[in-house]
Amino acid sequence: MEQKTRNTNEQPTAQTIRIAGTEVELHPAHPVRFACMEHVDQEIDEYVDQFEAAPDTYRAEEVEGGPLDKRCRVCGAEGKIALLRVKGM
């Protein structure tokens, strides 16, 4: 029983973040990425290419929690839009 608990904890469990104050579970295979306004379309295209799923988009300032690097992946500027996939959606 103790062993069971330990094994569960060692699993790379899905990341949980908060969006606009609501806790959501992320799809484990789909990371959170950020893009500036200029590169958001490009990043969405890349996300679709890599993960074969269109990301949900949120304003970066509404997304909290986890070790999130809120910089645009393309140019390194401040990310304005978060691209992610909420589990079950």
Under 8 Å between Cβ of 60 and 70: yes
Stretch that binds Zn ion, among 2-10, 21-29, 37-45, 55-63 (CB under 5 A): 37-45
Stretch that binds Zn ion, among 13-21, 44-52, 63-71, 77-85 (CB under 5 A): 77-85
Options 36, 60, 81, 84; binder of Zn ion; rule CB under 5 A:
36
d(CA 62, CA 44): 18
d(CA 14, CA 61): 21
Q: Is 74 in the site for Zn ion (CB under 5 A)?
A: yes
Q: Is 39 in the site for Zn ion (CB under 5 A)?
A: yes
Under 8 Å between Cβ of 34 and 59: no
Site residues for Zn ion per CB under 5 A: 36, 39, 72, 74-75, 77
